[in-house]
Structure 1
Amino acid sequence: MSVPEIDLSDAAVLRDPFTVYGRIREQSPLARIPIPGIGAMWALTRHADARAMLSDPRFAMNSGSFLRPGVPEHCLRYMRTMSEREAPEHARLRRLVSPAFSKRQAEAFRPRVEPLVARLLDGLPADGPADLLERFARPLPMDVICELVGIPEQDRPRWREYGATIAAGSGQGFAEAVPGIMAGAEAAVARRRAEPGDDLLSELAAEPGLSDEDLVTLVWHLVMAGQTPTHLIANAVHALLAHPGQLAALRGHPGLMPGAVEEMIRWCGPVMMTIPRYATEDAELCGTPVRKGEPVTAIVASVNRDPRVFADPERFDVSRAPASHLGFAHGPHFCLGASLARVQTEVALAMLLERFPGLALAGEPERVPDPGTWRLAALPVTF
């Protein structure tokens, strides 16, 4: 079988990845992505194959694949999150912390998210225009994380700055933000060890199997993975405003919101590819040999529009019947905070649409040319 190659720097991929990946998906279930200076990565384009690989123990995370240039040495031990640990250690940590991230716990946290959203909405100019990404979608996830782990109110503006830096990706700013995050996390863990409160960190600090290092690492994991709602909320608002019929349906039937959020994750979720898995032995994917040590990813932007799973997949439909998108991956590394991200996005969109019935785009927003994340540079709106 001829395996097509994907150039992630191609302007067509950066401008409209869904069309490019869709064409490749119908040509082949497997592609190759050259990575300059590293080699090439296998990429699965179809839903069934991606789902199978993500739950296959022969394809595992590799802690050596995460490079962090410029990060101070004393911070590195906290940066090996569950996603980067070998199976036994990953399973141990996952078992200990998963109950705190259950769907039930996320729903119980909903009343704590609502005032955070309300405060940000209160700060928006009534007459506009405003950048909804900068003023609303970007600060909210870090506000939620601060509430989750009990960061003192006076420290939260600084944590917002950290969140914006982390959401922007790697670079000098990223490396400079890390020590501050780690110091704040260490202080938060020590505080909750001494004075438990009504938050997730206090609950986890009471778990005897979790060390201080485990807890600080978990806070780092939350900061990293917890930025996903920034771009999901921005993409979702843009999709709704660009599809007035769907916006009207959601306004007219607010009960559609949970399913609508699933559709937004499927149709315009920010994650374009899964973190690579590495073959732990010689294997075969879609009839093609894969050698031990070779990296494999699933192209989420392709598999979530696979017509073998989703009817009329290019159509954005807030009333679509539930289907198994892979926006939060699958298998043992399924996103730990998926339920919390869903609740956060539901609350943000519901309160935004209720508060501003005249919400509209103030021009067509530009996207950041990033092959790894489908994200806006800004979201100018009027109210």
Structure 2
Amino acid sequence: MTATAENPAATVDLFSPDLIADPFASYARMREQAPVLTGSMMGGPPMWLVTRYDDVRRVLTDPLFLNNPASVPGAGSRFTVMKNVSSDVVEYLSGKLIEIDGADHLRLRRLVSKAFTARRVAALRPRIEEITGTLLDRMAEEGRDGTPVDLVESFCFVLPATVICELVGIDEADRADWYGWGRALMAPAEHADRLPTVFRECADHLFGVIASRRAEPRDDLITALVEAQEDDGDRLTDREMVKLVFTLVIAGHETTMNLIGNSVLALLEHPDQLALLREDPSRWPQAVLELMRLGPTQFGNPRYPAEDVELGGVRIPAGAPVLPLILSANTDPRQFGAPERLDIGRQTGTGHLGFGQGAHYCLGAPLALQEAEVALRALFTRFPDLSLAVGREEIPWVLRTGFTAVAELPLRLG
């Protein structure tokens, strides 16, 4: 029977303990049950969950599926799926680059691309290597007597946070505040009462930095964003720049942090794959792509079809929220052989959907991949006898939907 809005094939709780505890198995069951299911998140209204690779890729690339529900009559607000979100928080959450469509998106993407260039990312590599080396020195001191070191706290969080501050142009004296804001933004449920204050403080700080760079330019991303303009003189507004930096902090920082932590655990669990990397370090870029395929992103932002559409044999009405299940697609055996097996020689290229696809492909993907490659290569080179300090079953995971990530990773350095 074809499912419809009135006759859904099944209903999934995206906060169910089973899904959070074992997303791979949960998504495999969902994917084989039906291409498209209904579910909900954060206590919100039903959403359509897309489980299989071809359908997920279509949702990410077909311009029929819009990011901004305001573009579709009757779709409502993106944030109706979230409870107790105050209007001042919505002001900073809404309208970011990843949530707009068409000409507005093209305009912002072009302007941002003039500042956030491949050359700027590549130029950061020596500094990323330097920051990585400093953090590994601190870890060596911390674990010198065989004391276990939590990689997430000592390395995975600090490295991308520091790199983003370097990229954006946050002075070292202000970084402690940014680290605190970053922790709150990455764990909104735990810091719900603080979020309005965090957003205001962070935004006020950024408005000040933008004004400062306009008066005294530097070699940083904020200055490049201030100076970026189209041939017709169009420029980013200060508010657009603030929202862009929020996107970098929330999306870029957390994704990179989780990618590094997950990758270390995966390689320790697959010593044969780690041995291949030790034998031939030129494999690292391909290995990072494969590690990204297996997480940490479980799903993308909701999309809203501009008209009634059939997807996976299901009729979805215009404006209904459609959630592309990225991890389910990336482990779909219809697309990848032995999909849950880590294989650093797998030629996934850009075939996996960990960074999205199409017009909204993650702008920060090259930076995240570069950071992860530098971090992992340096970590396993510096500590060749790296090992888990606890049993695999004792490692805690981030207990919230949307992420497959270690919360702590206690290691012995050798």
Change (3 A) 1:135 1:85: same
Change (3 A) 1:361 1:74: closer
Task: Kindly indicate whether the alpha-carbon contact (under 8 Å) linking 1:101 and 1:339 is maintained by their aligned counterparts in 2.
Answer: no
Q: Aligned partners of 1:78 and 1:307: how far apart in 2?
A: 35
Aligned residue in 1 for 2:64: 58
Change (3 A) 1:210 1:250: same
1:372 and 2:387 aligned: no
How far apart are residue 60 of structure 1 and its match?
A: 0.8
1:139 and 2:165 aligned: no
> How do residues 82-161 of structure 1 correspond to structure 2 at under 5 angstroms?
82-124=97-139, 125-127=142-144, 128-161=147-180
- Unpaired stretches in structure 1, ≥5 consecutive residues: none
Instruction: Report Cα offsets for 1:68-119 as digits up to 9, x if no partner.
Output: 8565739825753112234221111011112433444322221121122222
Kindly provide the amino acid, as one letter, of the partner of residue 63 in structure 2.
Answer: P
Change (3 A) 1:255 1:68: farther
Change (3 A) 1:307 1:14: same
Task: Kindly indicate whether the alpha-carbon contact (under 8 Å) linking 1:71 and 1:178 is maintained by their aligned counterparts in 2.
Answer: no
How far apart are residue 150 of structure 1 and its match?
A: 1.0
> How do residues 1-383 of structure 1 correspond to structure 2 at under 5 angstroms?
1=1, 3-35=9-41, 37-62=43-68, 64-66=77-79, 69=84, 73=88, 76=91, 79-124=94-139, 125-127=142-144, 128-170=147-189, 171-208=192-229, 209-226=235-252, 227-267=254-294, 269-323=295-349, 324-363=351-390, 364=392, 365-383=395-413
Task: Kindly indicate whether the alpha-carbon contact (under 8 Å) linking 1:30 and 1:42 is maintained by their aligned counterparts in 2.
Answer: yes
Q: Aligned partners of 2:128 and 2:58: how far apart in 1?
A: 35
Report the more deviating stretch, 40-49 or 92-101. Answer: 92-101
Q: Secondary structure at the match of 2:49?
A: strand
- Unpaired stretches in structure 2, ≥5 consecutive residues: 4-8, 70-76, 230-234
How far apart are residue 287 of structure 1 and its match?
A: 2.1
Task: Kindly indicate whether the alpha-carbon contact (under 8 Å) linking 1:305 and 1:314 is maintained by their aligned counterparts in 2.
Answer: yes
Question: Segments of 4+ in structure 1 off by > 4 A?
Answer: 67-72
Instruction: Report Cα offsets for 1:154-191 as digits up to 9, x if no partner.
Output: 11122112212222234224333212211221122112
Q: Secondary structure at the match of 1:275?
A: coil
Q: Aligned partners of 2:87 and 2:45: how far apart in 1?
A: 27
Q: Aligned partners of 1:18 and 1:50: how far apart in 2?
A: 16
How far apart are residue 303 of structure 1 and its match?
A: 0.4
Q: Aligned partners of 1:68 and 1:82: how far apart in 2?
A: 23
Task: Kindly indicate whether the alpha-carbon contact (under 8 Å) linking 1:8 and 1:33 is maintained by their aligned counterparts in 2.
Answer: yes
Kindly provide the amino acid, as one letter, of the partner of residue 218 in structure 2.
Answer: G
Instruction: Report Cα offsets for 1:241-300 as digits up to 9, x if no partner.
Output: 111111222122111110010011112x21101110012222211221111110101111
Q: Aligned partners of 2:166 and 2:283: how far apart in 1?
A: 27
Q: Secondary structure at the match of 1:6?
A: strand
Change (3 A) 1:342 1:217: same
Kindly provide the amino acid, as one letter, of the partner of residue 288 in structure 2.
Answer: V
Q: TM-score, normalised to structure 1's length? A: 0.93
Change (3 A) 1:231 1:174: farther
Kindly provide the amino acid, as one letter, of the partner of residue 235 in structure 1.
Answer: N
Alignment length (residue pairs): 382
Q: Secondary structure at the match of 1:172?
A: coil
Q: TM-score, normalised to structure 2's length? A: 0.87
Q: Aligned partners of 1:152 and 1:38: how far apart in 2?
A: 40
